[in-house]
Amino acid sequence: MIPLPTGLRARLVITFTLVAVTASMLVATIGFELAKTALVTRTERTSMDLVVRELGGLDFPVGRLRPGEAAPTSKELNHLAQTLSAPGRSVVIEYGDLVSVTGPMTLRDVPNELYGRAKQSVVTQRRVLRGELWLIVGTEVHRATNGVPEATGLRAFVFFPMRADVSQLDTLRARLFQGGIAIVIIALVVALFSARQVLLPVRRLSAAAQALGEGRLDTRLPVHGQDELAGLTARFNDAAAALELSVSELRSLEAMSRRFVADVSHELRTPLTAMTAVADVLSEEAGRLPEAPAEAVRLVLREIERLRELVEHLIEISRFDAGTATLNLEPVNVADAIGDCLETRGWNEQVRVNASQGLTANLDPRRFDVIVANLVGNALKHGGPPVVVNARSTENGLEVKVRDHGKGIPREALPHVFDRFFKAGAGRARSHGSGLGLAIARANVHLHGGTISVRAQEPGTLFTVWLPHS
């Protein structure tokens, strides 16, 4: 099956060409039929005039004979036939039992319908005989008696060859066909040119829209003319200007928001350091305090730790937002890096690691530590034991999987787990964590040029990190 063209230019060209072809065919057909009718009519009129003129000069008596008149002889009929004859022409004269013939045609070649109508007037009929088209003119000679025309019984049938007319019509048909081809070619050229002129503004609009999509918000188009496309171009420019203004305002607000978060995070760091020092002292004294004050101290210590984690995460996020986060790659033993991450945080006994000791990758060790710590910490806080970390080398990178066996994340929440400050699930404690850990893990993975994904398991949740070979 031939596929239909879908492009606007192709459809315009095809439509224009089809209209031109249809119009040229219609004009050629009408012109040919008019020419054919005129040519045949002229030939018939000329042939009838010739036959009537020759028969009008008849010099021997026919029909009802008057006193002293003798019936015509075969010689006289032959002479009349010769008078009507000409090269290529054939004549049949009938008078009673006498028949005179010149040329290849005989009385049997006269159509019955024409033979019958010839009694009343001069009649014609076109017919193909012996592989050739002939115009047959037939009539009966009338003689006036006392002023009243009477049929004489002498009938003449003249066969005029129409090969010249057929040749002229064939030539005309060929010329019309050639003219139609020329018209179609001209129409095709005009259609291509017109389609190009019509679609040029559309292509410019498409290119400008693509440029806007790529972030070049200062893209504008010149407006030419006052037609619909000019109006569309003007509206596009207005929309682009409004979009540029809106994006500029949004970028300004976003930059202000990032600076605010970064400034607040850094400002909180100093008092938080002092609070942490005081918290260490309180932690040592909590065991000697009564139960109620000791519980209050432990609550303050937990909140200070949460605040410290939140501030650190906010500072890290602000670096990514500002574009100042850098990657310092070096060869890293993956098994040792994961083990050090778990040991530093006291998670060795709670997590099982499956990684070959010879597995190495070119990574930023600090950022890889953050990735593993956030994923494992998330599994320990919100998942359930056992927590398993699997690391292996693939054809084009390093794959690290972290799985817990808890209640899992609700399926409707899976697309949002890497969003900032997102927490979900009745089985996941909403009071723990900053809500930024997984967002920071994803940012570090993307900084390496890798990917991170999450899938629900039965039971638990599986996080998969892929980091490319550098």
User: DSSP labels for 1-29?
Assistant: -PPPP-SHHHHHHHHHHHHHHHHHHHHHH
- Give the CA angle between residues 106, 111, 116 to the nearest 5°: 110
Res 241 pLDDT > 80: yes
Say which DSSP state 108 is in. Answer: G
For the chain, give the mean pLDDT.
83
Query: Percent of the chain having pLDDT more than 70?
Result: 87
Domain ranges of the chain: 8-61+71-169, 228-321, 326-468
- Give the CA angle between residues 247, 249, 253 to the nearest 5°: 115
pLDDT at residue 258, as a whole number: 64
pLDDT-derived band at 269, boundaries 50, 70, 90? low
AA letter at 368: F
Res 458 pLDDT > 80: yes
pLDDT-derived band at 298, boundaries 50, 70, 90? confident
AA letter at 98: L
Res 133 pLDDT > 90: yes
CATH architecture assigned to 326-468? 2-Layer Sandwich (3.30)
- For 406-423, the DSSP string reads SS---GGGGGGTTSTT--
Res 414 pLDDT > 50: yes
Tokens in use for 64?
Answer: 């009802």
Q: At what angle do helices 163-213 and 228-285 cross, to 10 degrees?
A: 30
- List pLDDT tens digits, range 23-43: 888 888 898 899 999 999 999
Higher-confidence position of 368 and 229:
368
Query: Residue 435 burial by CB count (10 A; 0-12/13-18/19+): exposed, middle or buried?
Result: middle
Higher-confidence position of 139 and 223:
139
Closest Cα to residue 53, out of 74, 71, 72, 80? 80
Strand 387-394 with 351-354, pairing: parallel
Distance CA 188, CA 190 (A): 5
pLDDT at residue 39, as a whole number: 92
Region of poorest pLDDT, from 48-52, 104-108, 416-420, 459-463? 416-420
- The answer to whether 363 and 457 have CB atoms below 8 angstroms apart is no
pLDDT-derived band at 112, boundaries 50, 70, 90? very high
Distance CA 155, CA 81 (A): 11
Does a cis peptide bond (omega within 30 degrees of 0) precede residue 5? no
Residues 6+ apart with CB under 8 A from 218: 244
Residue 137: phi and psi, rounded to 5, are -110, 125
- The answer to whether 452 and 441 have CB atoms below 8 angstroms apart is yes
Three-state DSSP at 104 gives: coil
- The answer to whether 165 and 175 have CB atoms below 8 angstroms apart is no
Element (H, E) at 90: strand 90-95
- List pLDDT tens digits, range 222-233: 887 777 778 888
- The answer to whether 52 and 122 have CB atoms below 8 angstroms apart is yes
pLDDT-derived band at 168, boundaries 50, 70, 90? very high
Res 257 pLDDT > 70: no
For 193, 352, 367, 398, the CA distances from 358, given in Å and listed in that order, are: 68, 18, 21, 13
pLDDT-derived band at 49, boundaries 50, 70, 90? very high
- List pLDDT tens digits, range 203-218: 888 888 888 888 888 8
Res 426 pLDDT > 50: no
Task: Give me the CATH code for the 228-321 domain, please.
Answer: 1.10.287.130
Region of poorest pLDDT, from 35-39, 177-181, 427-431? 427-431
pLDDT at residue 432, as a whole number: 56
Closest Cα to residue 168, out of 38, 299, 324? 38
pLDDT at residue 399, as a whole number: 92
pLDDT-derived band at 431, boundaries 50, 70, 90? very low
From the candidate CATH numbers 2.40.128, 1.10.1070, 2.130.10, 3.30.450, the one assigned to the domain spanning 8-61+71-169? 3.30.450
pLDDT at residue 156, as a whole number: 93
Query: Percent of the chain having pLDDT more than 90?
Result: 28
